[in-house]
Amino acid sequence: MFDLPKLSRNFHDDMKEWPAFNNIYKSYFTEGKYPARSAFGVNGMAFDARVEVECMASKSPEA
């Protein structure tokens, strides 16, 4: 089983949308158990995307 995610990189074409993104993003996790993350302002993403999220997960050790 995977514990998702451990790290995320978030790419935004408009950093003014960061607060709205952040509110949605954190709703997917238990409060206080957020993954490490970074955010970047970019332009020219594929398919004219406004946001891209890249995640890394790790496999839990077998009990």
- Convert the pLDDT of each residue in 15-51 to its tens digit: 999 999 999 988 888 888 888 999 999 999 999 999 9
Q: Which tokens hold the place of 8? A: 């995320």
At position 21, the amino acid (one-letter code) is F
pLDDT the model gives residue 31: 85
Q: Residue 2: its pLDDT value, please? A: 45
- Please indicate whether residue 1 or residue 15 has the higher confidence score (pLDDT): 15
How far is Cα 60 from Cα 6, in angstroms, rounded to an integer?
Answer: 11
What single string gives the DSSP state of each residue in the chain?
Answer: -EEEEEEEEEEES-GGGHHHHHHHHHTTS-TT-PPEEEEEE----GGG-SEEEEEEEEEPPP-
